[in-house]
Every structure is written in structure tokens, then in C-alpha cells.
Amino acid sequence: MGAIQERMADVARYRAEGTAREDFDEFWSRTLERVVAKPLHDRRESVATFMQGVDAERVQFEGYDDTPLHGWYLVPKGTERQGRKHACLVIYQGYQCHRGNPENYAIWLQMGYAVFAVDTRGQTGETGNHLSSARGTIKGWMTQGVLEPENFYGLAMTIDAWKALQWVSAQPEIDAERIGVYGTSQGGGLALQMAALSEVPRVAVANVPNLCHLEFALMNSTGSVSEIAEFVARTPGALEQVLTTLSYFDNLNLAEKIKVPVLYSAGFKDLICWPETIAAAYNRNPAAGKELLLYPFMGHEEGPDEHRLKAYAFLREHLRP
């Protein structure tokens, strides 16, 4: 076996012990029970685009708190007149990215999907962040409230993503039995969380997903998790509190809750979402229909054309657009 094949084999079988605390399941049951009935206070506003045959709307809704969250809701024209409902992709964004323009999603619409592309609170775009913070943070968003899971920015981000699924599954144009989640990096991590925590998605595509095997990432990642590493470097006495908080949001632990098919990808030149972190989460996922695609010469990116075609086929198999 050559060096490349050996490395691929090592990553594919990489496993890590779970870090879930004793109240892990109770934490998520209590949290979701608290937010499920929270009003969305949603608004839909038609917008013009350069695309033909698409009804485009700017959506505003509330998730974890009263922060107005924004998304593009894009549906092929004539849905109601044709008496049919559409399969839908909910698309989550990478760290410090936003949803961009409606035209960015034309390829999905051409394939027959409706799209709900949502911002992440605070991370550029139109969406702010009303979450309060009892102490200062490091750089971006990942250390806000990191000493307590109930006050952690990551909790608000996760619940926002969960409420986006609640919103879209209730829309009259959408077939609630054919909704998938899609994302890259942070967006891929959120897609995995939603596959674990929500009954809405029927399939997930997680390209180089973040929020996996967070203790490993804390030591090695050059991405958003490095903000948390810097926080611990400055306050080393807080390490155990930080690890406890992260354990509730780690896809290593959430993986065991997944029941739907998931397509993962990992690049061996990725220093943000190391392939070991992704493989660790993948190998704890008990669901049928999962697949991990390994790319020895890929860095931190959505993937080459070959990967995109595989993702298209994977979604088509499970959503039938």
C-alpha cells in the first residue's frame, strides 16, 4: 500500500470516543421543547431577480431569540397553478459568510428544487445578533458565552437553523416530506446538527463540515475553532468549562441521533476542518445510506466538479426533485 492509500485508509477508519455529558439527551430535549412553540414572527416580501421562472422572496423570521433572521426563499414559478409541491433545499452558510444574491442558487432551481438560503446571525449579511454577552470575546463569534452551553453563541446558531426548518416545512409550496439540508464548512456542520436534531430533513450533504470532534479541532484547526483555542490560551483555567460547552454541539456526539442518509466530504489538505474530525463524526453515525468521500489533494472547499456531481446525484436519489 502506497503512502496516499495508507493515509486514506487511516482516515477512513479513524474513530474517537464520544464526549457527551450525562445530561446530553436531556439538554437537547429540554432546549427543543422550549423553542418549538416560540413564534416565528415571519414576513415574506417579493423581490425582483434576473432569473426567469422563479418566485423570489426575502424572508424575515425569528429563531432562538428576537434577532430578525434573513433568508432567500426561491420557488420555481407556477407551483400552486400546477397543483404540485416542491422538494426543497435549506442551505446554511460558512463561517463569516452570508447568503449572497438569489441568483447564486440558480443551479438548484434549474434542477427543480425550491431553496431556502439563510444567513447566520452576526456573520455579515443582513442579519445581526441580539444575543447578550456577560464578558468579552475573542475576535469573531465563537467565544460568545462559551463558558456555559445555555448562553453559548453556538446554541443560538443551532436553534436558528432548526427554526428555519420549522418555517420552510410549513410553507404551502413545499412538500414537507422532501426537504434536505446542505452546507459547506460551518454550513456543513449545521446540516449535520439538523440531521440529528430535527425530524424535517430527509437527507443531508455536509461538505468539509465544521463542528466535528471539537477537542481535536481545538488543538489543530486554523479556522473558527481557533478563536476558542485562543480564549483558552488566555484563560487556561476555563478549559474544562469550554470542553463541557462544546460537547453539546459537537457532531461527534450528535451523530448517534442521525437517522437519514448523509453525504460527507473531507480534504486531506484542509487545516480548518481536518479529515480526522469529519471521519470521527462519520464513524459514529449509525444511519443507513451514509457516505464519506475523501479527497487527498483538496483543501477547505465545497469540492471539485466531480464531487458536486456526486452530491447532485445523492440529493436526487433521496428527494426526487
Contact call for residues 285 and 315 (beta carbons, < 8 A): no
How is residue 81 written as a grid cell?
397553478
Choose the catalytic residue: 169, 185, 224, 265.
Answer: 185
Choose the catalytic residue: 224, 270, 307, 318.
Answer: 270
Contacts of 306 by beta carbon, 8 Å cutoff, 6+ apart: none
270 is catalytic: yes
Burial profile 191-219: b = 16 or more Cβ within 10 angstroms, e = fewer: bbbbbbbbebbbbbbbbbbbbbbbbbbbe
Choose the catalytic residue: 213, 300, 307, 318.
Answer: 300
How is residue 95 written as a grid cell?
463561517
Amino acid at 111: M
Q: Which residue is associated with the grid cell 420557488? A: 75
How is residue 148 written as a grid cell?
456555559
Residue 249: which of 52, 84, 20 has the closest Cα? 20
β-bridge pairing 68-76 and 54-62: antiparallel
Phi, psi of 314 (to 5 degrees): -65, -45
> In whole angstroms, what is the distance from residue 179 CA to residue 300 CA?
26
β-bridge pairing 174-184 and 203-207: parallel
β-bridge pairing 86-92 and 68-76: unpaired
> In whole angstroms, what is the distance from residue 293 CA to residue 111 CA?
23
29 is catalytic: no
Largest Cα span, the chain = 62
**Cβ neighbour number for residue 240 with a 10 Å cutoff:** 8
Catalytic residue IDs: 185, 270, 300
